[in-house]
Amino acid sequence: MNIETFRIFCDLVNLKNLSRTAEKHGISQSAVSQQLAQLEMAHRCQLVDRKKRPLKLTAPGQLFYQAAKDILERYNRLSSELATLGKTTARINVAAIFSIGMHTLQPHVKTFMAKYPKVNLNIEYASAEEIYERVLRGDIDIGVVAVPRKDRNIDVHPLEEEPLVLVCGPDNPLAGSQATDIHELQGVPFIAFEKGVPSRALIDDILKQYDVTVRMMMEFDNIETIKRAVEIDAGVSILPETTIHAELANSTLKAIPFSNEKFARPAGLIIRKNKTLTRAAKFLIELLQKKA
């Protein structure tokens, strides 16, 4: 085992998908599967229940995941401390919710690396709640979240708001509409974020504002699973338009704007108050805020 194996395993747990994990690390899906199998052989236990979709940890897997996260956090802190002492490569730790990290953050990484090629920009994905906790603990420098909440110990730097649209499968009765009144969702089968996810509270408030009651079919904690459920026409959903560009290009989903008003999901960068940022970190913040 090595540090990279721990990183791959933790990303597999966070992303719940072999192909996305492989893409993030620039390796094949088979290589991810082989590393997982080697871990299980080394410890003589099953870490992941492969029959579940999305992937789900077994009890030993959960224990291993918590230990792996702890090892990575301690290793990252050690690397940063050694870099500071030795005046070697600087490091910026960023944690983002998946929907913004993949669809908004990634296009700017190349620009940042061109400006600061010697800075190690480490980007990982986590839930909003975990990001807030780790920002406050000082484990990460910058958090990227949707619907930022107020906290006296956190500074929020607004990002460009993401337009919200009605999303449905191409065969759904609403798919042919140029625009839709939100009242048309009354009683319609709906795929939602789980309760506790900030985007869920935002969308619930919009529906409540217009006195619309949808028929809740499924609830998920991540946007990718919601999209897959909508693609098979299990229901419609309300999602940020920025997160469905690939599906729109492949015609697996339809995006329909609302005629009532322009609904949007706010987003922001969160940083622990009074945290000292490097010039590179400040540049990254400015880069991400350019359109805000």
Q: Is the pTM of this model over 0.75?
A: no
User: For residue 162, how far is the Cα from the chain centroid?
Assistant: 14
| Predicted confidence band of residue 169 (pLDDT cuts 50, 70, 90) | very high
What residue spans define the domains of the chain?
Answer: 1-85, 162-265
- The reported pLDDT for the residue numbered 266 is 95
C-alpha distances (whole Å) from 150 to each of 74, 78, 248, 292 are: 29, 31, 34, 19
Mean pLDDT score of the chain: 89
Say if CB 280 and CB 90 are below 8 A apart.
yes
pLDDT exceeds cutoff 50 at 292: no
pLDDT exceeds cutoff 50 at 233: yes
pLDDT exceeds cutoff 60 at 291: no
- The reported pLDDT for the residue numbered 289 is 87
C-alpha distances (whole Å) from 10 to each of 32, 65, 124, 236 are: 11, 6, 10, 31
pLDDT exceeds cutoff 60 at 86: no
pLDDT exceeds cutoff 60 at 94: yes
The fold for domain 1-85 equals Arc Repressor Mutant, subunit A (1.10.10)
- The reported pLDDT for the residue numbered 264 is 96
Mean pLDDT of 69-80: 82
Model confidence over 101-137: pLDDT tens digits?
887 787 788 899 999 888 889 999 888 999 999 998 8
Model confidence over 41-73: pLDDT tens digits?
888 999 998 887 788 899 999 999 999 988 988
The rounded distance, in Å, linking the Cα atoms of 178 and 147 is 28
More confident of the two residues 183 and 51 = 183
The fold for domain 162-265 equals D-Maltodextrin-Binding Protein; domain 2 (3.40.190)
